Structure 1
Amino acid sequence: LLGGAADGDAAVQWEGGEDDARIEALRERISEQRKFVEASRKSVNGKRPLHQSHDELEDDIWEQRELCSSKLAAINRDEAELKDREQRLRAERDEHFRQARAIEVEDHIGFGDLAPLGSPRRYQLLRLASKGAHITVYRAYDLNLMRMVTLRVHTLDPKVQDKPGRLQEATQECERIRQLKHVGLVPMLDHFLHEANSFVTVWELVDGDTLDSYLRRNGPLPEKEARGIAMQLLATLRFLEAKGRQLAAHDVRPARLALRAGEVKISGAPLLG
């Protein structure tokens, strides 16, 4: 789970709290139950006192077997609960590390000094979501329409020669993507040039988990729910194909799909290339 220096710092501060203690207690209980079942099985298969009658021996064996069956059922329930608790705790830990990395990056780039973006000063940045080589993603607030949005700052590669021409192409492409309207596609709300070598795109904020986070927290989807998500994705991909657009396989991986109340949405950002 630990990938970098920020993760290492976060790990020092990470504590599982009561959940961690409950998980450890559950592990110990399962171990004790298994030892009891194993001892009971050996007792059933072992030698019996000579003074016991045949009927008494049969009753004793039956009771031991029923007790073992009951214990095994309890162990299975405890193991299912243990798996669920561990899964949820791992998801919470991953989210803790992700937020710690974002806060560290905010500190390094002087996040608190950034003024609202847009004209006239429309989008107030609230939280850094992620930062890559050429794209920085923020959670922001639209001061005009009073709503939360996702804001991406796209910076041109320094190696690009004709920067004004490339920015003009990006503006035209943004306008085309903005016209794409589909229930399964996160819509672009706005776009504008920003500084000399960058431009900004503003997208609808989809509250909820990514499909990846949901699966890590809750485990595999039931077949009916998985089939519904697959059908939604296919419908969105068919729509894009009809518009002459295509997404790469990595653009529809679970970490990039937004899931809310059974609805799955694909980000339109990869369409910018």
Structure 2
Amino acid sequence: MNINKLPQNCKERLADLEARIFKKPKIEILEQFQKESTPSFEIKPARKSVYDQTLLKQLQITQFTKNAQNKQHYNKYNKETLIEENNETHTIDALKRSLNELAIKDSHVKQLEQHISDLTQQIQNFKTSSFKYDTAIKAFAIELDQHQRTTRNQLIEKNTKKYGQYQYTREKTKIIQVWFDSKEIKDLKEKLGSIRQQLDLCENQYNISLSRESLNYLILQREEEQLEKQLNGLENEKQLFIRDLKLRYDEQHAKFKHSDQYPVIGERYVLLSLLGKGGFSEVYKGYDLKEMKYVACKIHQLNSNWTINSKSYYVKLVTKEFRIHKQLQHPNIISLFDSVEIDSNTFCTILEFCSGQDLSFYMKKYGMIEEKEAKLIIQQLLEAVKYIHSNKIIHYDIKPQNILFNQNDVKLCDFGLCKELEQENSQIEFTTQGVGTFWYLPPECFAQADNPQVISNKVDIWSIGVIFFEMLYGLKPFGNGESQEIILKHRIIETSEKVVFPEKPTLSKECKEFIEGCLNHKQKDRFDIYQACNHPYMRK
């Protein structure tokens, strides 16, 4: 038994025991323990007394207990150490994994940063290239517009000799413009007048002689027809020529820009030549540098001389027009794309551009349109009106100038005077007498101030009937050739209760019935949009 391996308290107990047995001092025995690895005595069972045996047993029990406690403590310590080491190992592994993930993420971040840097450079290069392309496209659009304008001006100068021109003349204290026909038109009119005089003379002599005079009469009649046809053609061409002259004049005196300026609005739309001019707006042909297509740019300008209330009212009207028009999406309605604020008094609405002219242009050019072609135009117009009526909207300003052509499609435009109906109502009180184009408005729109009327979407049906009649006959059914002042003063529309069809050209019976249904004087008996669309003539 190795004494030195025992705990200190066990050594002291053993030293106490030997000191009592051998009658020696305890300190000597402890010193001897330090010198010797084994005790100086050997315990023999025979020499042990009962007391000693009990004492030894207690010592052994105590030693065993201490060993068990030490072992338990050691095992517990080892277990805790193992757990701590295991936790530490897991922590180290987790830390290594985290560091590895961080390294991967850091690498990924660097890659992304490099990618962003590359993209930024590409964007910058794209912007530079885009700016160059935009500049080149803008220059090309401007050059093309200038070429077209030069060609148009040259054609105007050339046609001045053919059709005539405006000249300034004095009328009392005023300087006014007066139209003077060309020599060709004057000669035709004189020749036609001479033939008509001869015809009158022949008619007076017809009962006296039935031979030579009658043959001469037929020749004169044929010549009259040819001259009338030639003169009517020239008159129609003259009206288009006057239209071009007016447009050139309006462009030279436009409020928003000079004819030699090409501003870009909204960093996107290049303003080109003037397309038309309204009461408070100017419409320009524009080019969209982003979409690379032509658009129509309608410039709205507030007059600096207007009162605050007038400005507020105009802004309210235009805002209403924009809000209503923006929600309308139909193949036969001009699309509204965008709006751009230019300054505090000027803004622009961007509209679909139509490559063709408006209906009034073709009516002036051809005089009359054949029934089959006119019917196709009305059918498309009915589809547009059917759509807006389904959205509880009255257009109120349907006229040839507001019907455009884009290739083979008819497009309805200009919702500046439109009216909204309540969802549960089909009528609205009429409060805007004197607004609109009188030739195309029904009788209920000419109500007297002391007798207010209600209007419905049948206002638009009347307008369609007038336009159809005008296309077919080359004249308006009511108030043809009269000014708006005369129409209003003499109540021409209100008193014209029935449409009268000229003898020529000959129309189908169904066509006349359709027009009569559209132009019924009584609002309640007039076609609504569904009756018009489903009429047998339109369903053929």
TM-score by shorter chain over 0.5: yes
**Counterparts in 2 of 1:1-273, with a 5 A limit?**
16-19=160-163, 20-37=182-199, 61-105=210-254, 109-110=257-258, 112=260, 115-118=263-266, 121-132=267-278, 134-155=280-301, 159=308, 170=319, 174=322, 177-248=325-396, 251-259=397-405, 263-267=409-413, 269-270=415-416
Mapped contact 1:44–1:64 kept (Cα < 8 A): yes
CA distance in 1, matches of 2:239, 2:277: 23
Cα deviation, residue 21, structure 1: 3.0
Q: Structure 2 vs 1, CA of residues 114 and 62 (structure 1 numbering), >3 Å: closer, same or farther?
A: closer
CA distance 1:199–1:70, change in 2 (3 Å): same
Q: Secondary structure of 1:79's match?
A: helix
> Does structure 2 conserve the Cα–Cα contact (< 8 Å) formed by 1:174 and 1:272?
no
Change (3 A) 1:114 1:255: same
The alignment partner of 1:105 has SS state of: coil
The answer on whether the counterparts of 2:264 and 2:271 sit within 8 Å (CA) in structure 1 is: yes
**In structure 2, how many angstroms separate the alpha carbons of the residues matched to 1:146 and 1:177?**
23
Separation (CA, whole Å) in 2 of partners of 1:258 and 1:175: 21
Q: 1:183 to 1:247 in 2, by over 3 A?
A: same
Which amino acid in 2 is paired with 1:265? K
Q: Which structure: larger Rg?
A: 2
Residues 139 and 151, structure 1, Cα contact 8 Å, conserved in 2: yes
- Kindly tell me the number of residue pairs found equivalent between the two proteins: 239
- Deviation track 1:197-248 (CA, whole Å, cap 9, x = no partner) reads 4432211111222222222222133233333322222211111122333312
Give me the identity figure in percent. Answer: 21
Structure 2 CA distance for aligned equivalents of residues 135 and 111 of structure 1: 16
Aligned CA distance change for structure 1 residues 254 and 62 (closer, same or farther; 3 Å): same
Per the TM alignment, residue 158 of structure 1 is displaced from its structure 2 partner at its CA by 6.3
> Using the alignment, how far apart are the partners of 2:384 and 2:200 within structure 1?
54
> What's the Cα RMSD here?
3.7
Decide whether aligned partners of structure 1 residues 160 and 16 sit closer, same or farther in structure 2, where only a CA change above 3 A counts.
same
SS at match of 1:203: strand
User: Which consecutive unaligned segments of at least 5 residues does structure 1 have?
Assistant: 1-12, 48-60
CA deviations on 1:22-76 (whole Å, 9 max, x unpaired) are 32232233334345555556666559xxxxxxxxxxxxx5243223212212212
SS in 2 for 1:185: coil
How far has the Cα of 1:162 moved from its partner? 11
What secondary structure sits across from 2:344 in the alignment?
Answer: coil
Please state how far the C-alpha of 1:117 moved relative to its aligned partner. Answer: 0.6
Instruction: Give, in whole Å, the separation in 2 of the partners of 1:39 and 1:216.
Output: 34
Displacement of 1:98 in angstroms is: 2.8
Output the CA distance in 1 between the equivalents of 2:273 and 2:323: 26
Aligned-partner SS, 2:416? helix
Shift of 1:125: 0.7
Contact 1:124 1:143 in 2 (8 A): yes
For 1:90 and 1:111, the matched residues in 2 are separated by: 23
Deviation (angstroms), 1:100: 0.9
Higher strand share: 1
- Tell me which amino acid in the other structure corresponds to 1:259: F
Return the offset for 1:129: 3.4
Residue 55 of structure 1 corresponds to none
Equivalent-residue separation in structure 1 for 2:300 and 2:199 (angstroms): 61
Q: Are residues 71 and 123 of structure 1, via their aligned partners in 2, closer, same or farther at CA, if it must alter by over 3 Å?
A: same
8 Å CA contact retained: 1:16, 1:89: no
> For residues 168-205 of structure 1, what are the alpha-carbon distances to aligned partners after superposition, in whole Å with 9 as ceiling and x for unaligned?
x94x9857744532111011122233333443221111
TM-score by length of 2: 0.38
Considering Cα pairs closer than 8 Å and 6+ residues apart, tell me whether 1 or 2 has the greater RCO. 1
Counterpart-to-counterpart distance in 1, 2:386 and 2:208:
67
Structure-1 separation of matches of 2:237 and 2:311: 49
Going from structure 1 to structure 2, the CA distance change for 1:70 and 1:126 (only over 3 Å counts) comes to same
Residue 124 (structure 1) shift:
0.7
TM-score (norm 1): 0.70
Taking a change above 3 Å as real, the CA distance of residues 31 and 210 of structure 1, as seen in their structure-2 partners, is: same
| 1:185 and 1:268 in contact (8 A); partners too | no
Give the gaps of 5 or more residues in structure 2. Answer: 1-156, 164-181, 420-540
CA contact (8 A) 1:103 1:128 kept: no
